[in-house]
Structure 1
Amino acid sequence: MSEPVNPARSRTRRHATPLPLDDDATLHAMGYPRKLTRRFQAFDNFAISFTIINIISGIFSSFGFGMKAGGPRILVFGWIGVSVMVLFVGAAMGEIASAYPTSGALYFSAGKLAKRHRGAWSWYTGWLNFAGQVGGTAATDYAAATFIQAFIALQWPSYQVTPQHTVAITAAILLVQALANTYTVQLVAVLNRISVWWLLIGMVVLVTALVVLPAHHQPPSFATHFANDTGFTNGFYGAMLGLLVTSWTFTGFDGSFHMSEETVRATVNAPKGIMRAIACSALTGLILMLALIYAIRDYTAEAGASAPPVQVLIDALGTGTAKVLMLIVIGAMLFCGLANMTSNTRQIFAFSRDGAMPGSRWWHSVSPRTRTPVKAVWLAAACSLVLVAPGWWSDTAFTAVVSINVVGLFLAYGVPIFLRLRLDSFQPGPWNLGRHGKLVAAVAVTWIVISNVLFMLPQSAPISAKTFNYAPIALAVVLLIATAWWFTTARRRFQGPVSYGSPDEVAAMDLI
């Protein structure tokens, strides 16, 4: 077993860094006993983030917006540029994950990296992360329900698509995903392995069909075509909004971080999982994006359709083939929601372990039979259902609630990276960036600030109740509740991540 990394050696090349500590010894050094089963190998850890990023789900959900906000030029070159920026964010997060490989992930590291007010930094990061993940599960499963209904309507034209049906289907999806997460970690790992191959094979099938079957493709120069149908006359503003297509897709890669306590050699495999998931998603996503763009036949008509990417498939391949490919998309969305719920559950487990949630003693308990935080699973499912419920009456209300997904997550990503940037005494783990760590962190924080500003700007004009961007309001509500709660009771009882004792003491508390 190797010794911890010496700060003086952190400036050396990564291959000179000592090997990681034993997983349990690392967890004990952070003050926690082992409660969860370590069944995730390196591939499984990568799979959780790759599945949550989910290029098929992300591109098919936001492609229509990109057709109006910049068109192919921004969809292609914006994808490349934003992917590079997200790699900086992932690298900065990975370095932190290597130093603090725990289920608490972002909120835990924020509490450890803060110079002062550790409890407050940890508190706000944890609640932003919680809200963002709950919103992510709700939004993904709601999108899956929408595509399921679109498929049913294509198969049986007499079927009536209604908001009530969408909410009911979403509730059924959440139930199945909660049941899957209730059983062993091994089952979740197997499903995530399947999801990787579903995504990769599905991407190959989609791209092959779009390249081989259409009788007509757009010319190579079409990748530079620019379109601004956002309603705003300023083309640069429209193009900047188009960058959100990639930013919306690249959320959830903190899943590898949250699964650290169930990952073998987590100090290395968790950061590698983050980086591999982002890199693989960037490459495969670009290929799928190009295939969709060059298969476009009638740009104006397809951009104005209720589901533009589905209309692209129908026009290019015919209804029969489009329906088969839609099943691939629906499957990808379902796997994405499952992985998102898994990550959300581990954050709830860790946050409750430190006493930061109402009823904490319930939510951090682990089933003695399955070794999973079963109660946290059902809390995650219930909270997502609460967010989905307003969709029964209004699509606008639902959009307002789940818009916290992207801003909540990216702010939660930014806080520990920002705190690491301010800290001169940061002691890295085995996977680290050496002397480039602060530069990478600075680029990551800069991009997070820029992207969050874009997330909260108006995205279409004229602005009305239907087109208004509710993200700032949703963020303000979360911060207002967290602030009121903090100053009334939480600041007196929550001081950030707790330690259950010395390494020897917590080792004696291990349940496995």
Structure 2
Amino acid sequence: MDGLEVRPQTATESLRERKKSNGVIDIVAPDGTARRVDLADMSAADAELAAKFGYTPVFKRQFGYLSTFSFAVSISGLFATIMTTFVFPLDAGGAASAVWCWAISGLGCLCIAFSVAELVSAYPTSGGLYFTISRLAPKDWVPSISWVTGWLNLLGQIAGVASSEYGAAQMLLAAVCIGSDFQYVITTNTTIGVMAALTVLTGIVNSMSTFWMEKMTQGYVIFHVLVLVSCSIALLVKTENKHDAKYVFTNVESSSGWTPIGFSFLFGFLSVSWTMTDYDATAHITEEIEEPEVKAPWAISLAMVFTYVVGWLFTIVLCFCMGDFAADDGILASVTLQPVGQLFYNSLGKGGGIFFTVCGFIIIKFVCFTAMQSLSRTVFAFSRDRLLPFSHFWTKIEPHTGTPLTAVWISVFWCIAINLIGLGSYAAISGVFNICAIALDWSYCIPIFCKLAFGNFEPGPWHLGKFSWFINAWACTWTLFVTIIFLLPTARPVAADTMNYASVFLAFTLLVTVVYWYISGRKFYNGPIIEAQFEESIADRSSSDNNNKDKEAKELSV
């Protein structure tokens, strides 16, 4: 085939160098249909996507450095996610648990984030981490490992969006409660109804074109930083009876019932792991980023460092200003069901309480917008590789907006559905927070472990160099450690209303995944598209063309 050149990318070879080949490639979709694409007509990143990974580009690349970084920051939603999860370390061990669990757990989360960034740089596709299995694991193991990794990642993302929407509903209703001078009574049914409406709003926003999503994302990080700085200053200035440093950094008190109290202290890791997760969300929009092999890992790593440092400082500020959290009129007993919102009210008055609680609501809605964008692209990518039932339906792209509308709205449906369990038990909703961190971190560490175990990794432009092995190994070790903690009940004695339902969700998901694999998946799923398959078919075609030319030459000579 004239001008055809498809070869693996080396660590030093740029995407633009690949484009210079000006080749033509036939891409064979999982359903057997073929499409011929000309690499010269594409951007460098699109040409790489087609030539190296075998995917037809369908998204517009609208995200630059600022919007990609802002997207990565928005996933953590630092200000709002701390508001949502601050109760966990306080219950576990008081102020010291909140402060030191953030410092310790954050380092483990950074190791996972850096390891993920390294993989994203090497394999920038919407499939994210499950796709990397096709390059890291032995060929015979690829289908089963990538299947489990993909489903765990999908569960984690659904749980992440669902729990964020639930937190957004709580914040909005807390602002209403403060505005009514605490006369408005918040019920679980009302929270679930508001959550459903907010999730639909998220779906509508994600039905717009990538152009508008990029514009919305650009200004988010500036707003977020301004809220963090202004709130911290206001709390330190206006809070009259602040705790001293000894209390903030050394006070340990637990209401969990676990003994010794040092064990209870460890449950404070949940707040950090839920805030500093979903690192690969940026990976799922790499097909919408210019130069994704550089910008995506840069954004992931920098955003997580920002989240770690600023999150720790903001947590310290809250601990100085929170008062006696365990008192009968303390923030944990607030009728708003939003302890940090109550803290704002106590220190800043009604106006300040409403203002910063609404700011938290706006920020967590941005989390939902960007996380839903990532989730819908994951559904699209999984369907493209036939991981999901009725896969052809979820890969449809709306021509006017350039977005996968069916993937967006099936994501909306499942995010609402998983939160409906809150109608039966609030403890089950807490399990959704836990399973988000567990499932996502497992889906990251499986490919990281494959990278360490099989040695097939070819680094991209952004890599960890000589520190790679140590950082990767600690990421896997840390994930195993915190998983054990997150599956244990956070309070004793264990009853229906104190049970940690994360273990139930995880067991159910793994059971469904394995059963679906043996009943149906293994019959049609051969793993993500693998470059070698295209190279072999191309080589066969080239060999056939050469044989035909030789035959014609011999006939002419005769």
Q: Percent identity?
A: 30
TM-score (norm: length of structure 1): 0.92
The match for 2:346 is: 315
Structure 1 gaps of 5+ residues are: 11-16, 507-512
Match of 2:235 in 1: 210
Alpha-carbon distance in structure 1 between the residues aligned to 2:303 and 2:184: 38
Displacement of 1:44: 1.7
2:259 to 233, 239, 252: 233
**Equivalent residue for 1:117?**
141
* Per-residue Cα deviation, 1:6-61 (whole angstroms, up to 9, x for no partner): 4xxx6xxxxxx554553123212111111111001122222222111111122111
User: Within the alignment, does 1:429 sit opposite 2:454 as a pair?
Assistant: no
Superposed, which structure 2 residues align to 1:437-452 within 5 Å? 437-452=468-483
1:38 aligns with 2:83: no
Q: Report SS of the residue matched to 2:95.
A: helix
Instruction: Give 1:400 deviation, angstroms.
Output: 4.3
From 366, 369, 374, the counterpart of 2:400: 369
CA distance, structure 1, for counterparts of residue 114 and residue 324 of structure 2? 40
CA distance in 1 between partners of 2:323 and 2:530 (Å): 60
- Partner Cα distance (1:349, 1:126) in 2: 12
- The alignment status of 1:25 with 2:50, answered yes or no, reads no
Higher gyration radius (CA)? 2
In 2 relative to 1, CA 400–445 (structure 1 residues): closer, same or farther, beyond 3 Å? closer
| Alignment root-mean-square deviation, CA | 2.1
- Aligned mates of 1:389, 1:260 — CA distance in 2: 32
After superposition, the C-alpha distances for 1:424-454 in whole angstroms (9 at most, x for unaligned) are 2311111112232222111111111112111
2:410 aligns with: 379
Runs of 4 or more above 6 Å deviation: none
Cα pair 2:109 2:277 within 8 Å, conserved: no
d(CA) in 2 for partners of 1:97, 1:350:
15
1:168 has 2:188 as partner:
no
Matched, 1:134 2:158: yes
Say if 2:447 is the partner of 1:416.
yes
- Does the CA-based 8 Å contact 1:59-1:245 persist in structure 2? yes
| Residue equivalent to 1:77 | 100
In structure 1, what is the equivalent of residue 291 of structure 2?
265
| Equivalent position amino acid for 2:309 in 1 | L
Give distance in 2, aligned partners of 1:499 and 1:113.
11
2:274/2:436 contact within 8 Å kept: no
Larger CA deviation: 302-311 vs 166-175: 302-311
Deviation at 1:322, TM superposition (A): 1.1
Query: Does residue 276 of the first structure (1) align with residue 298 of the second (2)?
Result: no
| 1:178 counterpart letter in structure 2 | G
Aligned with 2:223 (options 180, 191, 198): 198
Which of the numbers 257, 263, 274 marks the counterpart of 1:248?
A: 274
Shift of 1:397: 4.0
Equivalent residue letter for 1:27: L
Amino acid at match of 2:49: L
The alpha-carbon deviation at position 401 of structure 1 amounts to: 5.2
Shift, 1:351, TM fit: 0.3
* 1-structure distance, mates of 2:202, 2:384: 23
AA partner of residue 426 (structure 2):
D
Q: Report the 3-state secondary structure (helix = DSSP H, G, I; strand = E; otherwise coil) of the residue aligned with 2:86.
A: helix
Quick one: higher RCO (CA 8 Å, sep 6+), 1 or 2? 1
Deviation of the 1:390 alpha carbon: 2.4
Q: Per-residue displacement from partner, 1:251-295 (whole Å, max 9, x unpaired)?
A: 212111111111111011111111011011112212211211111
Matches within 5 A, 1:488-507: 488-498=519-529, 502=534
> Any conservation in 2 of the 1:4–1:18 contact (CA below 8 Å)?
no
State the alpha-carbon separation in 2 of the partners of residues 470 and 111 from structure 1.
33
- Confirm or deny: 8 A CA contact 1:4 1:429 kept in the other structure: no
Unaligned stretches of 5+ residues in structure 2: 1-6, 17-43, 539-558
Amino acid at match of 1:304: L
CA distance in 2, matches of 1:63, 1:399: 13
Over 3 Å counting, the alpha-carbon distance change for 1:229 and 1:148 in structure 2 is same
SS at structure 1 position matched to 2:219: helix
State whether residues 67 and 303 of structure 1, in contact with CA within 8 Å, keep that contact through their aligned partners in structure 2. Answer: no
Q: Secondary structure at the match of 2:197?
A: helix
Deviation at 1:423, TM superposition (A): 2.1
CA gap of 1:304–1:24, structure 2 versus 1, over 3 A, is closer
Matched residue, 1:59: 82
Letter in 2 for 1:216: N
| SS in structure 2 of the partner of residue 226 of structure 1 | coil
After superposition, what is the alpha-carbon deviation per residue over 1:331-357, rounded to whole angstroms, capped at 9, x for unaligned?
A: 111111111111101110100000111
Does 2:385 align with 1:354? Answer: yes
Q: Give yes or no for contact 2:448–2:476 (8 Å, CA) kept in 1.
A: yes
Scaled by the length of structure 2, what TM-score is found? 0.85
Q: Is the 8 A contact 1:113 1:423 kept in 2?
A: yes
Q: Is the 8 A contact 2:372 2:411 kept in 1?
A: yes
Q: 2:107, 2:259 → 1: CA distance?
A: 28
| Corresponding residue number in structure 1 for 2:554 | none
